[in-house]
Amino acid sequence: AAGAAAAQKAWAATAHPVRAAVLRRAAALLEEHAGEIMDWNVREVGAVPGLAGFALHVGAQECYEAAALPSHPLGQVLSSEEPRISIAQRVPVGVVGVVSPFNVPIILGIRAVAPALALGNAVVLKPDPRTAVTGGVMMVRILEEAGLPAGLLQLVTGGADVGEAIVTDPNVRVIAFTGSTRAGRAVGELAGKHLKRAHLELGGNSAFVVLADADVDKAVNLAAWGSFLHQGQICMTVGRHIVHESIFDEYVEKLAAKADSLAVGNPATEHVHLGPIIDENQRDRIHRLVTSSIDSGAKLRAGGSYDGLFYRPTVLADSPLDAPAFCEEVFGPVASVVRFSTEDEAVGIASATEYGLSLGIVTADAMRGLELAQRIPSGIVHINDQTVNDEANTPFGGVGSSGTGSRQGGAEANIDAFTETRWITLRRTPGSYPF
């Protein structure tokens, strides 16, 4: 952190076209070395090639978007009741601490690293130790090759003790953390104790509401992707399927058939739809949530079993609303399906959660879907789509226990996240005061 702070001042004073060129070059290098980086993503993270390619695409776009930040207007001229010029200027915070998770390390690291650097900051990056190459070494090497001066991007690896050291170090002024709600609470509490801003992107248990007029086949296609992509190890994953009673049985039958048809295995050696769970602890937690939900009354319609780290896509029908796999974030390939009769009931079920990250609604009437969405707290809403979506230019974040309401993505959100506001006034001659 001290090395980053020492390097930051000269970088902040560097002409904006130079900083922009580094980020553009980094994006081009990500694209140029796509094959090698995707291979690491598949082998280290367990991502299927399609997801690995998507992560790389978004990662490159994050760098391209960040390259536009150095030349973006970074202030305002304000009205003043005095004879002076009054300006609000956005200035770099100094050093940003970035703590990223294992599940999609390219996107969830670079989306903070790239804009923070582009805006004149230095970064101390701590990836999850299980994915330190894809989430750490790769980014450092790419940016080094892109011409980033030494010292500006510091990579440290390790566990919670290292994360705590980053949060408490006096050189680090802003924390960008992506991870579980439990860990995020600890980060937020520690950052608050040290009077630091913490941008927290945390867990989710996203609702997918299917209205009576929805096309069931299309809804099931969306649902399977939203629940089973990347083995369900995505914060936006569809966890709660809330389906109108008139189409419930058909929906469950077709979703279970889809789950049973999906291939699970090693994405590095065979063509599969789902790869491995990240480790045994996470696999065991998933299975514990599934079995306890069945014990609570949920009906197992597909999956519910594993071989090693490979967990079958699972469908639980008629889950009690307090079943663990329905009311908790599973972070695994588990779809819990419940029925509703009225829109008020659907809103009540969808809203009955501490989380508020992403929401999907499927209906033949898009305006009806949008009106329904206005009644359900969520940082992200997709009408006639599933909940797992990401683009580099969009402000991403949730409400409730899904985050602190801060956003990353897009010029305005990134500038707000990684700069401070300084008020400046200029008088032609010194002012005069009564004493």
- Which pairs count as long-range contacts for 222-225, CB under 8 Å and 24+ apart, including other chains? 222/360, 222/362, 222/385, 222/386, 223/251, 223/255, 223/335, 223/386, 224/255, 224/258, 224/259, 224/262, 224/313, 224/335, 225/386, 225/388
Cα 345 to Cα 103, 299, 350, distances in angstroms: 33, 21, 9
31 alpha carbon, distance to own chain's centre:
21
* Cα–Cα nearest to 125, from 168, 166, 91: 166
| Plot region of 230 (φ>0 → left; ψ -120 to 50 → alpha; else → beta) | left
* Cα–Cα nearest to 381, from 363, 101, 267, 333: 363
Nearby residues of 194 by Cβ (< 8 Å), 6 or more positions away: 167, 168
- The two structure tokens encoding residue 269: 């050696």
Give the H/E segment covering residue 122. strand 122-126
The catalytically annotated residue of 44, 62, 65, 201 is: 201
Return the number of other C-beta atoms located less than 10 Å from residue 146's C-beta: 18
Give the H/E segment covering residue 324. helix 324-327
Residue 343: active-site member: no
262 alpha carbon, distance to own chain's centre:
25
Cα 45 to Cα 55, 129, 278, 421, distances in angstroms: 12, 11, 7, 38
Cα 279 to Cα 44, 102, 311, distances in angstroms: 11, 11, 11
Residues designated as active site: 201
